[in-house]
Amino acid sequence: MMLEVKAIDKEKIKPWLTAMLEETKVIAPEQSHGDLFYEFIDSADEAFLGPYEAPPWMSIKRFFFPQMDKILKYKRGPGGIQVEPVVSEMKRVIFGVRPCDNAALSFCDKWNTADGLNDIYYLKRREQTTIVTIACNQPGVNCFCVYADAGPFAKENFDIQLIDFGDQYLVEVGSEKGKALTEGKYQHLFKAAPSDADKKRFELLLESKGMFHTYVDQRSVTEKLKKDEVPDMLWENMAKRCQNCGGCSYVCPCCICFNVVDKEVSEDEGFRIRTWDNCTFAGYTNMAGGHNPRGEKKDRFMRRYYHKLYYEFDKFGERGCVGCGRCTTTCPGKIDMARVTRSILTRGT
Amino acid sequence: MENLYLPQIAVIKKIAQETPDVKLFTIEFKDPEKFTAYKPGQFFMLSVFGHGEAPISITSSPTQKGSIEFAVKCVGSLTAELHKMKIDDEIGLRGPYGNGFSADSLKGFDLLFVGGGIGLAPLRSLINYVLEKKADFGKITILYGARTYDDMVFKEELKAGWRKSAQVITTVDMGENLCDGNVGLVTTLLPKAKVNTKTTKAIVCGPPVMIPFVLKDLTILGFADDHIISTLERHMKCGVCKCNHCNIGPKYVCLDGPVFTCAEMKLMTREF
Residue pairs spanning A and B at CB distance below 8 A: 125
Burial of A206 (0-12, 13-18, 19+ CB in 10 A): exposed
| pLDDT value at residue A103 | 95
> B-chain residues within 8 Å CB-CB of A307?
244, 247
* Least-confidence region, from A95-104, A264-273, B238-247, B262-271: B262-271
Phi, psi of A205 (to 5 degrees): -65, -45
Averaged pLDDT, A66-71: 95
Q: What b/e readout covers A244-278, taking b as 16+ CB neighbours within 10 angstroms?
A: eebbbbbbbbbbbbbbbebeeeeeeebbbbbebbb
Is pLDDT at A51 greater than 80 in this prediction? Answer: no
Question: Considering chain A, what is the average pLDDT of its residues?
Answer: 92
> At A232, is the secondary structure helix, strand, or coil?
helix
Beta strand segments in chain B, E:
8-19, 22-29, 43-48, 52-57, 68-73, 90-97, 110-116, 140-146, 167-172, 200-205, 228-231, 247-248, 251-252, 259-261
Residues 231-260 of B with CB under 8 A from A: 233-235, 237-238, 240-245, 247-250, 255
- The proportion of chain A whose per-residue pLDDT surpasses 90, expressed as a percent, equals 80
pLDDT at A36: 92
**Cβ separation B243–A277 shorter than 8 A:** yes
Tell if the CB–CB gap between B53 and A259 is shorter than 8 Å.
no
Taking only the tens place, the pLDDT of each residue in B104-129 is 999 999 999 999 999 999 999 999 99
Question: With an 8 Å Cβ cutoff, is B183 touching chain A?
Answer: no
What residues contact residue B98 under an 8 Å CB cut-off, 6+ apart?
Answer: B41, B42, B43, B239, B253, B254, B255, B257, B258, B259
d(CA B23, CA B239): 23
Which chain A residues touch B79 with a CB distance below 8 Å?
288
Look at chain B and count its residues: 272
CA angle A41, A68, A88 (to 5 degrees): 60
Q: Searching chain A, which residue's CA lies closest to the CA of residue B246?
A: A285
Band the pLDDT of A100: cuts 50, 70, 90: very high
**Percent of chain A residues topping a pLDDT of 70:** 99
First to last CA, chain B: 33
**Nearest in space to B87 (alpha carbons), one of B8, B17, B15, B10:** B15
Locate the chain B residue with the closest alpha carbon to A255: B244
In our burial notation (b when 16+ CB lie closer than 10 A, e otherwise), range B177-189 reads bebeebeebbbeb
Cis peptide bond upstream of A253, omega within 30 = no
Averaged pLDDT, A31-47: 92
Chain B contacts of A73, Cβ < 8 Å?
none
- Tell me which residue of B120, B255, B122 sits closest to A315, measured CA to CA: B255
Kindly list the residues from chain A whose CB atom is less than 8 angstroms away from the CB atom of residue B9.
80-81, 83
Whether the pLDDT of residue B8 is over 70: the answer is yes
- Percent of chain B at pLDDT above 70? 99
Q: Which site among A285, A286, A292, A300 would you substitute to test the B interface, given the most B Cβ atoms closer than 10 Å to its Cβ? A: A285
Judge whether B163 and B209 are in contact, CB under 8 Å: no
* For range A172-186, the mean pLDDT: 94
- A348 pLDDT band, cuts 50/70/90, is low
* Average pLDDT for B133-140: 93
* Chain A contact set for B51 (CB, 8 A): 262
Q: How far apart are CA A329 and CA A67, in angstroms?
A: 20
Q: How far is CA A26 from CA A19, A30, B193, in A?
A: 11, 11, 70
Burial class from Cβ neighbours inside 10 Å (0-12, 13-18, 19+) for residue B71 reads buried
Contact B79 A288 (CB under 8 A): yes
Q: Quick check: B1 pLDDT over 80?
A: no
Choose the closest CB to A287 out of B233, B244, B255. Answer: B233
Q: What is the pLDDT of residues A130-158, one digit of tens each?
A: 999 999 998 989 999 999 989 899 999 99
Q: How many helices (H) and strands (E) in chain A?
A: 12, 12
Which class is domain B103-267? alpha beta
Residue type for B32, please? P
Query: How far is it, in rounded angstroms, from Cα B99 to Cα B255?
Result: 7
Which residues of A are less than 8 Å from B78 in CB distance? 288
Q: Name which of B31, B227, B63, B253 is nearest A293 in CA terms.
A: B253
Q: Specify the pLDDT at position B271.
A: 66
Answer whether A258 sits within 8 Å of B237, measured CB to CB.
yes
Q: List chain A domain ranges.
A: 4-67+87-209, 218-256+278-347
Nearest neighbour of B241 by CB, restricted to A114, A288, A291 = A114
Can you tell me the ipTM of this complex? 0.89
In angstroms, what separates the C-alpha of A279 from chain B's closest C-alpha? 8
Angle subtended by helix axes A218-226 and A337-347, to nearest 10: 60
Contacts of A306 in chain B (CB under 8 A): 249, 272
Q: Judge whether B8-97 and B103-267 match in fold.
A: no
Distance CA A305, CA A235 (A): 10
Cβ distance B1 to A123 less than 8 Å, yes or no, reads yes
Which of B53, B242, B251, B254 has the highest number of chain A CBs within 10 A, making it the mutation to test binding with A? B242
Whether the per-residue pLDDT at A349 is higher than 50: the answer is no
Domain chopping of chain B, boundaries: 8-97, 103-267
Calpha distance B15→B83 (Å, rounded): 9
Judging contacts by C-beta atoms under 8 Å, the chain A residues touching residue B76 are: 288-289
Q: Among B76, B79, B245, whose Cβ lies nearest the Cβ of A284? A: B245
Is B52 within 8 Å of A259 when comparing Cβ atoms?
no
pLDDT of the residue at B267: 82
Between CA A341 and CA A222 the distance in angstroms is 9
- Give the up-direction half-sphere exposure of residue B152: CA atoms within 13 A in the CB hemisphere: 27
Could you tell me if B135 lies within 8 Å of chain A, comparing CB atoms? no
- C-beta atoms of B9 and A307 within 8 A: no
For range A183-208, the mean pLDDT: 94
pLDDT tier at B268, thresholds 50, 70, 90: confident
CA dist., res. A137 & res. A117, Å (int): 38
Question: How much is the average pLDDT of A247-254?
Answer: 95
Cβ-contact A10, A167 below 8 angstroms: yes
Query: Can you give the pLDDT at residue B48?
Result: 96
B108 residue type, one letter: G
DSSP E strand boundaries for chain A: 4-9, 25-32, 35-41, 68-77, 80-85, 92-97, 129-134, 160-164, 168-173, 190-192, 258-266, 269-276
Q: pLDDT band for position A1 (50/70/90)?
A: low
- In sequence order, the 6+-apart residues with CB closer than 8 A to the CB of B81 are B48, B50, B51
Give the closest-approach CA distance of A225 to chain B in angstroms.
11
Three-class secondary structure of residue A69 per DSSP: strand
Q: Each residue of A272-315: pLDDT tens digit?
A: 999 999 999 999 999 998 889 898 899 999 999 999 999 888 88
Report the candidate in A125, A115, A52, A141 with the shortest Cα–Cα distance to residue A93: A125
Is B8-97 assigned to CATH 1.10.357.140?
no
CA-angle at A182, arms to A61 and A191, nearest 5°: 125
pLDDT tens digits for range B65-96: 889 999 999 999 999 999 999 999 999 999 99
Handedness of CA A28, A31, A37, A40 (dihedral sign): negative
CB A255 within 8 A of CB A320: yes
Q: Which of B82, B235, B252 to mutate to test the interface with A (most CBs of A within 10 A)?
A: B235
